[in-house]
Chain A
Amino acid sequence: MPAFDALHAAYRNRLEPARRAAAAGTKVVGVIGGAVPVELVHAAGCFAVQLTAEPGGPTDRADRFMEDLHERATRALFDRMLGGAFDFCAAIVIDMTSDANRHLFHYAKEIVRQGVRDTLPPLIAYDLMLGDGTAIRGYGLARTRELAERLRLIGGGEDIAGALAAAQRRRALLRRLEALRAEGRLRGVDALHVLGAGRFMAPEEFEQALTAFLAETHPTLTGPRVVIVPAVPLDHDTLHEAIERSGGVVVGEDDWWGSRAHDGDFRTQLPPLEAIFGAHYETTASPRAPEAKREAWLRRRLEAGGIDAAVVYIPPSDQDFGWSYPDLQRLLDGKGIPAVLLRDDILDASGAERIAAQLQAFIGGLR
């Protein structure tokens, strides 16, 4: 599967394509969070790369400044920032759609102000708010216009219509990917790698590899079809691996790294920038979105059928998602979907062991 190999390699070596692009003289813009409209980065003629922590990676440098109650992924990402891993970027755009990203932005600003690091790439806050109403929508559109202008100043390009057309093609392909998953014809781990690769590759290379991958034969897999509902976005495949080792097939995940990455359509009757903004505003999977927007994808996915079970993952560090758990449990019960709640940390060795045992019992029971 050469097409998959290229996608898998990009998922594993996340900064490599961006570093190559930078070495070749292309301006690279790092993005943090799932709501940054990368289409605008592409429109400016820049290379967009998602900046992430190494899953389970070190936090030593960050620990001096960032309290350990912050999610490990946030601390590890901050650690990489402090260590200079992203210094090749011409700018870093952070979306403000989560508490974690807001804290990260403040902390990164402060280390520059305090003189701890004086060479961070310029930080750009993309303040997308997701509440309902025309005022909030108008605010987001204005911030999106500002972002487009800042990116244009960095990259020099402004082909927003071209970037939108390419994004539409990718979304169409990714919907075919999701359809394959719904039919149980892709391992969740593989699907996650494919989806993730799009965050690290050049868009045209990703489109080419994805087209080739979809053209291959994908036989139907056996095993209960599982949807993951995580409290934190899963930027790693460890939980998927554990579920699929236990005999399940992960057919979707309720976060922006997974099935919600390319949810929703661009409304092409609108001017290109508004169409791009609208898709992000309406469908971004954000913990700060109103309840109805947060839950929309899962409700729709459960209605569509073909789900045998749900895995709810709330690691011990959680301080917010848990408030929604009683209603989530009620929703799953109401749909007759058996569910298991995992409260250990999958990235911790002993936690992973306990989770493996829980999953064996749960998925074994389903079969």
Chain B
Amino acid sequence: MSKQLQCTALAREFSRSWFGDLRRRVIEERQPYVLASAETPHEIFEVLGLPVVTAEWWSGVVSAKRRAGAYLDWMNAHGLHEGLGGYNTLGLVSLMAPEVPDAPWGGLPPPALLCTPNRSEAGARAYAMAAGRLNVPCFTIDVPAATRFYPRWWEMARREWDDLYERHRVDIMLEQFRDLIAAAEAIAGRRLDLDALRARLEAVNRQEEAFDAARETIVEAEKCPVSLDEQMSNVMTAQWHRGTGWAVSHAQAFRDEVQARAAAGEAACAGERIRLMWVGNGLWQNTAFYRAFEDSHGAVFVWSMYLAIAADGYIKYGLHDPVRALAARYLNLGEQMHVPPWAGEWVVHEGLRHRVQGAVMLAPPASRTALAGNRFQMLALEKAGIPVLEVTMDPNDNRAWDEARLRGQVARFIEERIAA
């Protein structure tokens, strides 16, 4: 197994110390912060001086600390049935359940504002419940439905986004973002500086360009220079703070390390014989799993949506109206990773150029939103000659984690459908 990247340890340390600092500012200095879904314009809040905690990131922290089960038990004891536990909502539940012991890193303090897109009924209801319980305002962004679909959306997403996402849809998102800005300004006690927002989005573009370059290196390298768990932790730590000086530098350092390793012929697994892709949400409760088949099968996970969507979903050129560019970013970001017709074509494109020989696809049992589109993606991948294994598993719930079963499934898949 290869030596860990230097930036991986830095990312872990950054998350922890950033969160400690946030707690201190919120609890001791009574500064307001925003708890927001991943698919909301964090940059607006941060330019206004309002720190943002991403609800999905916090869900991931809870899962990584193997505390998800305790919160899911709390839900069931409080009238919320078993089918409701989901990656997007665990962070909210942890806020509503301060009595659950051993919250990671001391737990989330109460936010000043919740913010979510109305992308799924479950998410909207969960945020409404949390807002009511915490007596905190919740800003919900109605996401208009796509009515027209272009092939190869990723080729248009950076510059032709007004056309790709349909002008009338961008317009209505923009109107809502203006209302959101007003709400955030009231909390921050200051006006949004549009030049500062534009500069922030330019920095985001630089960050995602660095991730794009890292992805190209992985595509071109004979053997994958960086393991998937390191890709995910480095990318997502920077993404949750995207456009900050730290995040841009970190993305560039990640790119440089990946490129240096590729140039030196270093690989995540020297014995790489098989390349795999992971389709769906990350296994945040056990990212080490992605390396479980390197020694035994020479099988290396080289791709997940996280690095790829950073490059294909976030970069937006044409920032004369930075709020409009942000509005376009959030119209279909979620669907592009999961739902037809966006996702199937994209994963095939990514899988082929990453030279993967198989795909392992997550089917989370308690999240229709995350599962929707799996069948079409599977059909598209198989048609392109990439065999697929679908594994049913909750990526968060440590109570249901069955490592032996999962390892057995993936090992059989490699042996019977790829190596054979």
Among the listed stretches A95-103, A216-224, A237-245, which one makes contact with chain B, having 4 or more residues with CB under 8 Å of it?
A95-103
A64-B375, A318-B83, A323-B129 known; A113 vs B341 contact (CB < 8 Å): yes
A100 nearest CB across to chain B (Å): 9
Q: Which residue of A lies closest to B125 (CB)?
A: A323
| Interface pair B172/A106, CB less than 8 Å apart | no
A67-B363, A327-B129 known; A110-B376 Cβ under 8 A = yes
Interface pair A319/B375, CB less than 8 Å apart: no
Chain A CB within 8 A of B124 CB: yes
Cα-based distance from A339 to B62 in the complex (angstroms): 35
- Decide if A326 is an interface residue (CB 8 Å cutoff): yes
Which residues on B sit within 8 Å (CB–CB) of A113? Answer: 149, 340-341
Residues of B with C-beta under 8 A to A288: 118, 121, 124
Taking CB atoms, residues of chain A closer than 8 Å to B335 are: 106
Q: Is the CB of A135 within 8 A of B176?
A: yes
Tell me whether B371 is interfacial, beta carbon within 8 Å: yes
Is there contact, CB below 8 Å, between A67 and B375? yes
* A287 interfacial by beta-carbon distance below 8 Å: yes
Q: Which residues of B contact A135 (CB under 8 A)?
A: 172, 175-176, 179
Complex CA gap A65/B378 in Å reads 9
- Evaluate contact between A66 and B144: CB separation under 8 angstroms: no
Q: Flag whether B128 is at the interface (Cβ < 8 A).
A: yes
C-alpha spacing A66/B340, complex, angstroms: 11
**Among candidates A66, A98, A102, residue contacting B375 with C-beta atoms closer than 8 Å:** A66
Partner of A107, one of B84, B144, B340, B371: B340
Residues of B within 8 A of A139 (CB): 144, 168, 172, 175
Contacting residues, chain B, for A127 (C-beta < 8 A): 144-145, 147
Q: Which residue of A lies closest to B370 (CB)?
A: A69
B384 at the interface (CB under 8 A from A): no
B contact residues, range: 35 or more
- The complex places the Cα of A114 from the Cα of B339 at a distance, in Å, of 14
A324 and B129 within 8 A (CB) = yes
Complex Cα gap A70–B84 (Å): 14
A287, closest chain B residue (CB): B121
Q: Determine whether the beta carbon of B340 is less than 8 Å from that of A109.
A: yes
Interface size on A, residues (CB 8 A): 47
Q: How far is the CB of B138 from chain A (nearest CB, A)?
A: 10
Task: Write the chain A residue with the least CB distance to B372.
Answer: A103
Assembly CA distance A264 to B227 (angstroms):
58
B 68-86 binary contact with A (CB < 8 Å = 1; else 0) = 0000000000111101101
Which chain B positions have C-beta within 8 A of A133? 176, 179
User: Chain B residue with minimal CB distance to A123?
Assistant: B147
- Of the A-B pairs whose beta carbons lie under 8 Å apart in the complex, a sample of 26, sorted by A's number, is A70-B372, A99-B121, A106-B335, A106-B339, A109-B340, A109-B341, A114-B379, A125-B145, A127-B144, A127-B147, A131-B140, A133-B176, A135-B175, A135-B176, A135-B179, A136-B176, A287-B121, A316-B83, A319-B367, A320-B120, A321-B121, A322-B84, A323-B80, A323-B128, A323-B129, A326-B78
User: Which residues of B are at the interface with A, using a C-beta cutoff of 8 A?
Assistant: 78-81, 83-84, 86, 118, 120-122, 124-126, 128-129, 132, 140, 142, 144-145, 147, 149, 168, 172, 175-176, 179, 335, 339-341, 344, 363, 365-369, 371-376, 379
Q: Which positions in A face B, CB cutoff 8 Å?
A: 64-67, 69-70, 96, 98-99, 102-103, 105-107, 109-110, 113-114, 125, 127, 129-131, 133, 135-136, 139, 142, 287-288, 290-291, 314, 316-327, 329, 343
